[in-house]
Amino acid sequence: MSNNELDFYEKIKDWDFSMINYTEESLTNWDMYEILNNKANSESKILDLGTGGGEKLIQYFPNAKEIIGTDFSSEMIKTANINLKKSLRKNIKFKQMDNLKMTTPNNYFDIVVARHTCIDAKQIYNTLKDNGILILRGVDKLDCWELKYLFGKGQAYNDVKPISLIDYESILKAGFKNVELVPIHIREYYKTKEDLLALLLKTPILCDFSEENENTNLELDIDMKLLDKYINSHKTDKGILLIRRYYGITAIK
């Protein structure tokens, strides 16, 4: 992970999506937390890569023997530990770790979860036990495409190969079996302009963020006139519409 990418996430250490007022409608029957809870049991050891502030782990992960959440950003881990203390949940630890230089033991975890983060499939393969499960959800190239098209930039905007295919192929190459790739389509409705702007300021959606080119530019400059143009043409009774495009992958070691 590049230094400017680390700087971006260090600056947004206090992200908290619970403060953003929005609703969503899923058009795809694929839920990573439902899959996780169906696969895990009280004896499971679970690794969460790219845990961020840990709020998703704390809220949606099952009770298990051991859960470790990792993030490249030390500031994110500080936030996660604050959230953990408030939650009173047990058997959860947070630690700083680069997903591309994993320090977890080999053949240790029953399940590895990766949500909206970069991965090294071979290192995940090594840290899983035999028949261990990888559950991955990522942000694909066409995510928020109409918004990116209007601005002429954005995450993976100029990439030739979508990140979903890059991850899928790397997971196959690492030796996983029963690899399944599912496109995820979601409609999100933001209550106000401020809610939508909060999302755009806390994520790299409109950054020149490339999965193919290491020279990623994560400086965020939002043209408010263009944003107003998008909002005016996407107002609905439910809120300001944003079309999301994710992907889910499950695989077995």
pLDDT at 221: 79
Whole-prediction pTM value?
A: 0.86
Residue 109's nearest CA partner among 95, 94, 128 is: 128
| Distance in angstroms (rounded) separating the CA atoms of residues 1 and 113 | 18
Going from the first residue of the chain to its last (253 residues), give the mean pLDDT of each consecutive group of 10, the final group possibly shorter.
Answer: 47 61 95 97 97 93 97 90 93 95 97 94 98 97 96 91 94 98 97 93 81 56 94 97 98 98
Q: 79-109 pLDDT, tens per residue?
A: 999 999 999 899 999 999 999 999 999 999 9
Extract the tokens encoding 78: 């500080």
Phi and psi angles of residue 139, each rounded to the nearest 5 degrees, phi first: -100, 120
| Distance in angstroms (rounded) separating the CA atoms of residues 147 and 149 | 5
pLDDT at 19: 79
Helices (H), the chain: 3-11, 32-39, 55-60, 74-87, 121-127, 145-151, 163-174, 193-202, 224-233
Q: Which domains does the chain have, with CATH numbers?
A: 3-252 (3.40.50.150)
Residue 168 per-residue DSSP state: H
Cβ neighbours, 10 Å, residue 148: 18
Q: Can you say how many angstroms the Cα of residue 203 is from the centroid of all Cα atoms in its chain?
A: 10
